[in-house]
Amino acid sequence: MRKDVSIAIVAIFLVAAATVTATPNGQPFQEIWDAINALQQQVGSVAWTNITGIPADIADGDDIGTLSVNERNQTFTCPTAHSCAQFVRCQSGEVLTGGGFVVNDPTGPGILDIWTSRPHPTVSNSWLVEVKNNDPVSLNFIVYAMCAKIS
């Protein structure tokens, strides 16, 4: 059963990585969300014995709860000719599993330097996006964090 969990976890990251690299600006959250939901349905019930982080008194067949993946987001505006940084944090009891951003440029494709889209190096359990807006207008961003929880 441990093998099933490991395969499911690897599959989630492979699907997420393939989707993000195939789409500009790391924007394919609906596709990632759909893939995670499909994998959750395929995995069904798994055995939790000998998996790191699971208490020793949990036995195979015990129901330890339901895995949920929640999207957390924060909207911000980056003025023209400015550098901006924004992060979004998972809630208490959740674990960051990924993240990214979407930018809305009202004038069409803009001039934007993306410096960072990654887990925040100093704020735990959060996703950080850092950009330089070289566009002639302010740009609106949504920063996303994908957060998992067993409840």
CATH tag, 70-151: 2.60.120
Domain parsing of the chain, residue ranges: 1-64, 70-151
pLDDT band for position 76 (50/70/90)?
very high
pLDDT at residue 47, rounded to an integer: 52
Mean pLDDT of 98-124: 86
- pLDDT tens digit sequence for 30-59: 777 777 777 666 665 555 444 555 556 666
pLDDT at residue 78, rounded to an integer: 92
Buried b (16+ CB within 10 A) or exposed e, 28-60: bbebbeebbeebeeebeeebbeeeeeeeeeeee
Query: Which residues are CB-contacts of 96 (< 8 A; sequence separation ≥ 6)?
Result: 90, 119, 125, 126, 127, 145, 146, 147
pLDDT band for position 151 (50/70/90)?
confident
Mean pLDDT of 125-130: 94
Query: What does the mean pLDDT of the chain come to?
Result: 75
Higher-confidence residue of 33 and 2: namely: 33
Report the C-alpha gap between 28 and 100 in whole angstroms: 9
